[in-house]
Amino acid sequence: MSNTPDDRKYADSHEWALLEADGNVRVGISDHAQELLGDLVFVELPEVGQQVGKGDECSVVESVKAASDIYSPVTGEIVAINGELEDTPEAINDSPYQDGWIFVIKPEDTSELDDLLDAEGYQNLTEDE
């Protein structure tokens, strides 16, 4: 059974988005997603300063099985990336919600987060898969 913490929101494309105290949004992929992908072997990160729109492809995670696009859950500017993933992409498998974060966005409008699923809604979605 995958783990789905209720402190954050989820996109139906399996990213999580955590609104932090400074108003930025941290993004990664769900436990369910990393389980489906299998062992992660490469992460293509976005660039700091890059402007992204909600739903834009801005990163790619590759597992032993397949490449998967990561879509930005909100519109804004990338203000941090997890450079550790370049050498240890498996952090996403081991710790999808903590060490395996992928990037941080300074959002234009945090109300975009309301369009995402809460933990319960996301869990219902993944149970149907």
What is the smallest separation between the CB atom of 93 and other proteins, expressed in angstroms? Answer: 8
Residues that bind other proteins (CB under 8 A): 35, 38-39, 41-42, 44, 60, 62, 64-65, 67, 86, 93
44-70 core/surface letters (b: 16 or more CB in 10 A; e: else)? ebbeeebebebeeebbebebeeeebeb
| CA pair distance 100, 84, nearest whole angstrom | 9
Report the residue number, 26 or 32, with the smaller CB distance to other proteins.
Answer: 32
Those residues with Cβ within 8 angstroms of residue 86's Cβ, 6 or more apart along the chain or in another chain? 43, 45
State the nearest-atom distance from the C-beta of 40 to other proteins, in Å: 10
Nearer to other proteins by Cβ, of 13 and 110: the residue is: 13
Alpha carbons within 13 A on the beta-carbon side of 18: 19
**Closest CB 21 distance from other proteins, rounded Å:** 33
* Cβ closest to other proteins, residue 17 vs residue 37: 37
Q: How far apart are CA 29 and CA 92, in angstroms?
A: 8
Nearer to other proteins, 109 or 127 (CB): 127
Min CB(115)–other proteins separation in Å: 27
Q: What is the largest CA-CA distance in the chain?
A: 37
